[in-house]
């Protein structure tokens, strides 16, 4: 799913090039639809729902078994333990599959994901992408990733070791604030550009561009 137009891609890429023109830093920008599929979370919720349904069965056992009388031709029947257990198992399985089916709807699945898990998965994905696309891929180890995960509503800034040695993580707070302020208004490109400008200012302060500096990583915005 594309969140930015071709024109917005050009603007973000130009902002990266402008920021890198003032520093030896290499900025990578990624906008992802999501950071994870959360299948494990969906399975956990479906299992919890099924257990909850099973836990309620003793309180509705008589009316439930009465509803199942047509299975015996409408005749009164003395339910035995195997039959009762079979009915309970069938209901538990049906509840599990129903919950799992409901959770295939993206809006419902993401609404059911706890915020802490969203944050952790977005951070893990950002670090994974950084290791693949930027870590130790620059001569001075001055790569930095600005990562935005749309469905989680999470953003991350991950920097290479030369940057982290000089710049405390909280320094990126201003860049994150600028990014989120624009995102709340639905302006994704403007948010990325604002973050790039502030990250670029920090990089220019600590890693000024030298005369023989060359562009080592692509400037273009990546959408996943």
- Amino acid 98: pLDDT: 92
Neighbouring-strand partners of residue 29:
146
Lowest mean pLDDT among 48-57, 70-79, 131-140: 70-79
Q: Cα–Cα distances in Å, from 112 out to 34, 39, 99, 217?
A: 15, 12, 11, 37
Average pLDDT, the chain: 80
CB distance 217 to 26 below 8 Å: yes
Give the per-residue pLDDT at 29: 86
pLDDT of 24 higher than 70: yes
Predicted structure pTM score? 0.77
Instruction: Provide the pLDDT for residue 185.
Output: 85
pLDDT at 215 over 70: no
Q: How far is CA 9 from CA 15, 87, 181, 190, in A?
A: 10, 57, 19, 11
Q: How many CB atoms are closer than 10 A to CB 160?
A: 21
Q: What digits encode the pLDDT tens for the residues 80-129?
A: 556 567 777 788 888 899 999 999 888 888 888 888 998 889 888 988 88
Distance CA 135, CA 88 (A): 53
Domain assignments of the chain as residue spans, ordered by start: 6-36+114-223, 39-111
Q: Give the DSSP letter of residue 143.
A: E
pLDDT in tens, 49-59: 988 988 877 77
pLDDT value at 173 more than 70? yes
CATH node for 6-36+114-223? 3.10.310.50
């Amino acid at each position: 799913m594309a969140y930015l137009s071709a024109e917005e891609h050009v603007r973000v890429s130009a902002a990266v090039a402008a920021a890198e023109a003032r520093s030896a830093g290499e900025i990578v920008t990624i906008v992802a639809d999501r950071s994870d599929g959360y299948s494990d979370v969906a399975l956990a919720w479906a299992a919890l729902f099924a257990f909850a349904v099973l836990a309620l069965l003793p309180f509705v056992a008589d009316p439930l078994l009465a509803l199942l009388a047509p299975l015996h031709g409408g005749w009164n029947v003395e339910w035995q333990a195997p039959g009762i257990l079979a009915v309970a198992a069938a209901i538990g399985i049906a509840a599990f599959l129903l919950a799992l089916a409901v959770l295939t709807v993206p809006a419902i699945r993401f609404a059911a994901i706890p915020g802490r898990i969203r944050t952790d998965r977005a951070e893990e994905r950002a670090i994974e992408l950084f290791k693949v696309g930027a870590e130790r891929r620059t001569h001075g180890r001055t790569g930095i990733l600005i990562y935005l995960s749309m469905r989680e509503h999470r953003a991350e800034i991950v920097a290479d070791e030369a940057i982290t040695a000089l710049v405390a993580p909280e320094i990126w707070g201003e860049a994150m604030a600028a990014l989120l302020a624009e995102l709340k208004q639905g302006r994704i490109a403007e948010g990325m550009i604002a973050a790039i400008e502030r990250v670029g200012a920090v990089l220019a302060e600590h890693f000024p561009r030298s005369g023989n500096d060359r562009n080592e990583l692509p400037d273009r915005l990546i959408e996943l």
